[in-house]
């Protein structure tokens, strides 16, 4: 029997009756916060053969005190079709709009005594109000400290002191087969603990975050995870947090033993950045690459079963170019940790702090060598030339759509935000040929030619006519 598989996140959303009035916003402007005191235990869960355990009640009792339910509310505008009978008597009446209150449910984990809570971005995204319910039924309003859609991590805070909080494990040390427990509030039945094992690690090709260009590095578990478990705790047999429950794959929208959690090391690094700066900064290497295949490995002087990532291109002026990385190099490890796939390399680099030095172990011309690279900072808007102005290559499709002569070369303005200060000077479809009398051929060369700050002279082609435009960057 064929089933259509459901692949998605596990928070609950429900719509209620129409309401009026204003709602107070939970998400406010970006502010920095003092980093809270976290409790971290990096030791492995087991040092050898484990004894038979009859109950985990003593381990899980303090964990339950640190796991909360998160109730979100947001106001959405719904279109209501006018009754056809009214149109018969009063003519073509327009459809009406009304505000509807939409409620959501998720879970979260208290990570500090002063009220910082780790959860999922999709639990709090777009919320106008957040309410946190503790295990002892006390309820508090919460505010979003920061959220990162690319990792599905969010941090919220309640104004309370001396709260019970969880200990963080070192998720790099978990092993397939380790016993784990999922703790949360599935389907709003109340706090629930389920048991399973670590089924797999490093799941990075699920495409759960594909629509935001996200970074996937999930722990897979068969501990039951259902709607409402999002943001809840995945803990080990010592009651330490190893992951933040996030998603399931199922043909029925219910648990079938394929659940996914964000490793706590990954989530905690994002959390620290969100608390300290309100944003997330990521490391940047500046290469294009591909997962090594058997055929390519042999041609590059490696065994057919070798694992790694082959460098296919190096961006100009990038950290990779400055460090001496070359096309056809095969990256085997970063800081002595093996790299087996393009996705794994991308996540590993993104987790690192800009300006940090990393050691790459690689193979070049059949010989192994090491290379030290100082990472740059990844731009979350790689095609943005000026604030609110995105550019791209002049492809054949762009030429056809804009009626461009084959001799016109440069970069094309693909999008201009209506609120951009440059919207009056630059429009979509305009081709930038030169910047400050330097020919531009791609996004990288265009960015290199821009004077920051300063006045920039652009030679452009718009609808077949050449001209000059000045753009002042402050």
Q: Which amino acids are annotated catalytic?
A: 122, 152, 230
State the DSSP string of 362-401: EEETTEEEEEEEE-EE--S-TTEEETTEEEEE--HHHHHH
Q: Name the DSSP letter for residue 188.
A: G
Q: What is the rounded CA–CA span in Å between residue 340 and residue 338? A: 6
Q: What residues pair up with 234 in beta bridges, in sequence order?
A: 182, 243
Alpha carbon distances (Å) from 390 to 18, 148, 383, 413, 465: 39, 22, 5, 6, 21
Q: What is the rounded CA–CA span in Å between residue 446 and residue 466? A: 18
Please enumerate in sequence order all residues whose Cβ is within 8 A of that of 308, keeping only pairs 6 or more positions apart, or say none: 292, 297, 302, 330, 331, 332, 339, 340, 362, 363
CA angle 66, 61, 47 (to 5 degrees): 100
Please enumerate in sequence order all residues whose Cβ is within 8 A of that of 98, keeping only pairs 6 or more positions apart, or say none: 18, 77, 78, 80
Contact 440, 432 (CB under 8 A): yes
Q: What is the rounded CA–CA span in Å between residue 82 and residue 79? A: 9
State the DSSP string of 30-92: ----PPPPPEEE-S-S-SSSPPP-S--HHHHHHHHHHEEEEEEEEEEEEEEPPPHHHHHHH-S
Would you tell me how many other CB atoms lie within 10 Å of the CB of residue 64? 17
Sign of the CA dihedral running 444, 319, 274, 207: positive
Neighbouring C-alpha atoms within 13 Å toward the C-beta of 442:
4
User: Tokens standing for 195?
Assistant: 């048991």
Alpha carbon distances (Å) from 199 to 174, 180, 241: 11, 10, 17
User: Tokens standing for 30?
Assistant: 């970006």
Q: What is the rounded CA–CA span in Å between residue 25 and residue 13? A: 18
Neighbouring C-alpha atoms within 13 Å toward the C-beta of 376:
16
Residue 321 dihedral angles phi and psi, to the nearest 5° = -65, -45
């Amino acid at each position: 029997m064929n089933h259509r598989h459901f692949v998605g996140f596990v928070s609950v959303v429900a719509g209620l009756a129409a309401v009026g009035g204003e709602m107070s916003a939970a998400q406010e402007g970006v502010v920095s916060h003092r980093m809270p005191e976290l409790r971290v235990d990096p030791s492995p869960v087991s040092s050898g053969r484990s004894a038979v355990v009859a109950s985990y009640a003593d381990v899980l009792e303090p964990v339950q005190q640190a796991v909360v339910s998160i109730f979100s509310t947001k106001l959405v505008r719904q279109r209501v079709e006018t009754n056809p009978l009214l149109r018969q008597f009063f003519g073509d009446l327009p459809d009406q709009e009304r505000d509807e209150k939409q409620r959501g449910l998720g879970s979260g984990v208290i990570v500090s005594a002063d009220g910082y809570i780790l959860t999922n971005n999709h639990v709090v995204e777009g919320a106008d109000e957040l309410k946190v319910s503790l295990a002892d039924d006390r309820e508090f309003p919460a505010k979003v400290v920061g959220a990162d859609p690319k990792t599905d991590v969010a941090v919220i805070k309640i104004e309370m002191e001396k709260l019970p909080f969880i200990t963080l494990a070192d998720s790099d040390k978990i092993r397939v087969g380790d016993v784990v427990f999922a703790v949360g509030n599935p389907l709003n039945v109340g706090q629930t603990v389920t048991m399973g094992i670590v089924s797999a690690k490093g799941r990075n090709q699920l495409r759960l975050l594909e629509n935001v260009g996200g970074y996937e590095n999930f722990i897979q578990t068969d501990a039951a995870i259902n709607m409402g478990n999002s943001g809840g705790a995945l803990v080990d047999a010592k009651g330490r947090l190893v992951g933040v429950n996030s998603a399931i794959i199922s043909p029925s929208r219910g648990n079938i033993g394929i659940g996914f959690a964000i490793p706590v090391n990954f989530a905690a690094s994002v959390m620290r950045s969100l608390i300290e700066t309100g944003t997330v900064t990521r490391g940047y290497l500046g290469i294009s690459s591909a997962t090594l295949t058997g055929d390519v490995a042999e041609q590059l002087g490696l065994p057919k079963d070798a694992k790694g990532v082959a460098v296919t291109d190096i961006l100009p002026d990038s950290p990779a170019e400055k460090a001496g990385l070359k096309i056809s190099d095969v990256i085997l490890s970063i800081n002595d940790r093996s790299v087996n796939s393009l996705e794994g390399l991308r996540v590993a680099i993104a987790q690192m702090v800009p300006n940090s030095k990393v050691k790459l172990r690689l193979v070049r011309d059949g010989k192994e060598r090491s290379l030290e690279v100082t990472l740059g900072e990844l731009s979350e808007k790689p095609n943005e030339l000026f604030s609110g102005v995105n550019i791209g290559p002049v492809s054949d499709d762009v030429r056809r759509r804009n009626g461009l002569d084959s001799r016109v070369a440069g970069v094309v303005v693909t999008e201009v935000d209506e609120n951009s200060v440059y919207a009056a000077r630059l429009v979509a479809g305009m081709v930038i040929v030169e910047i400050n009398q330097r020919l531009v051929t791609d996004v990288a060369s265009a960015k290199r030619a821009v004077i920051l700050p300063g006045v920039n002279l652009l030679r452009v082609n718009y609808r077949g006519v050449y001209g000059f435009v000045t753009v002042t960057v402050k």
